Amino acid sequence: MFDLKGFGDQLLLGALMTVGLALSVLCVGTILGLAGAIAKLSKSAPARFAAETYTAVLRGIPELLIVLVIYFGSSGLLTAAAEAMGHDGFVELSPFAAGVTALSLVFGAYATEVFRGAILAIPKGQIEAARAIGMNRRLVFLRVTLPQLWRVALPGLGNLFLVSQKDTALVSVIGLEELTRKAAFATGFTKAPFTFYMAAAVLYLTITSVTMVGLHLAERRASRGMPGMRG
C-alpha cells in the first residue's frame, strides 16, 4: 500500500518505543492516581489541598508544555535535591524518563478523579460491616476497597490509557525516538510527509484497536460473577 523506502523497520521500532512508553506511563500514573485519590478523600486538610492543586494544575496546562518543562527543568531540580542530600555531581532525566514522568503526572491527575469516584462507589454497608468485625481503616482499604476498586475504575482507566497512548507523540519533541519522531525523520529523508505520517497514523490505530480489544476482555473478566454489571 505504501512505499516506505526502507523506513518500515524504523517505524516499527518507533511503535515499540511508543508502546513501552505508554505501558510505563500506565504503571506509574496508576500509582500516582491511587495516591491522589487517597489524599483527596483523606481527613488531612493539607493532603486534600495538595491533591486538589495537583489535579487542577496538571489538567489545565498543555501536555506539550509539561513534557518540555520536565525535560529542561528536572535536571536543575534533581541536582539541587541531590546536593541537599549530600550527593555531589549531576543527575538528570533521560528523554524516556522525562517523558514517563511528565505523562504519568498528567495520567495520575485524571486517574485521581477516576479512583476517587470508584472508592465512593463502593457501598457504605460493606465498609461499615468490615469496621464492625474489627478491621482498622488500613485493613478495610486493603481487603475491601482496593480489590473492588479495579472493577469500577477499569473503564475510566482504560479511556485514560487510550488518551495517554496518543500523548506519547508529544515526547518526540524532546528527542525520544518513538513513532512520531521516526516518521518525522523519514519525512525529512524522503520528502514524502503524507506517506509517513499516514503510515504512523495506521500504526497508532493498530495500537489503539489492540488496546480496545484488550480492555474489553479485561472488563468482562473484572465483572465476572456480577451479572448486573455486564453491558
Partner 1 sequence: MSFDLGLVIEYFPRLLSGAGLTVELIAISSLVGICIAVPVGLMRVSASPTLRNLSLAYVFFFRGTPLLIQIFLVYYGLSQFEAVRNSVLWPFLRQPYWCAIVAFALNTGAYTAEILRGAMQAVPRGEIEAARAFGMSTALLFRRVILPRAVRIGWPAYGNEVIFMIKGSALASTITLLDLTGMARTIIAKTYAPVEIFLAAGLIYLAIVFVLTRAFRRIEARLNRYLLHESA
Partner 2 sequence: MRKIAIALAASLALAGPALAADKVRIGTEGAYPPFNQIDASGKLIGFDIDIANALCAEMKVTCEFVTQDWDGIIPGLLAKKYDAIIASMSITDERKQKVDFTDRYYSNSLSFIRKKGASIEQANLKGKTLGAQRATIAAEHIEKMYGKNVDVKLYDTQENAFLDLEAGRIDVMVVDFGVGYNWLNSDAGKGFEFFGKNADVGDHIGIAIRKGDKELADKFNAAIKAIRASGVYSKINAKYFPFDIY
Site string for partner 1, 69-108 (x = CB under 8 A): x--xx--xx-xx----------------------------
Is 123 near partner 1 (CB under 8 A)? no
Phi and psi at residue 196, in whole multiples of 5°? -80, -35
Q: Report, in Å, the least distance between residue 184 CB and partner 1.
A: 8
CA gap 28, 104 in Å, rounded = 6
62's contact among partner 1, partner 2, none, with CB below 5 to 8 A by partner kind, is: partner 1
Residue closer to partner 2, measured from CB, 19 or 184 = 184
- The site partner of 197 among partner 2, partner 1, none (C-beta below 5 to 8 Å per kind) is partner 1
Closer residue to partner 1 in complex, CB, 77/120: 77
**Size of site (CB under 8 A) for partner 1:** 41
224-230-231 Cα angle (round to 5): 155
Q: How far is CA 200 from CA 26, 67, 83, in A?
A: 22, 21, 42
**Quick check: 170 binds partner 1 (CB under 8 A)?**
yes
103/23 Cα distance (integer angstroms):
11
For 31, what's the count of Cα atoms within 13 Å in the CB-facing half-sphere?
8
**Residues 91, 69: contact at Cβ < 8 Å?**
no
Phi, psi dihedral angles at 2 (to 5 degrees)? -110, 145
CB of 78 within 8 A of CB of 102?
A: no
User: Could you give the 3-state DSSP secondary structure of residue 5?
Assistant: coil
Residue 183 interacts with partner 1 (CB under 8 A)? yes
Among residues 2, 155, 197, 223, the one that binds partner 1 under rule CB under 8 A: 197
State the residues that interact with partner 1 by CB under 8 A. 56-57, 59-66, 68-69, 72-73, 76-77, 79-80, 166-170, 172-173, 180, 183-184, 187, 192-195, 197-198, 200-201, 204-205, 208-209
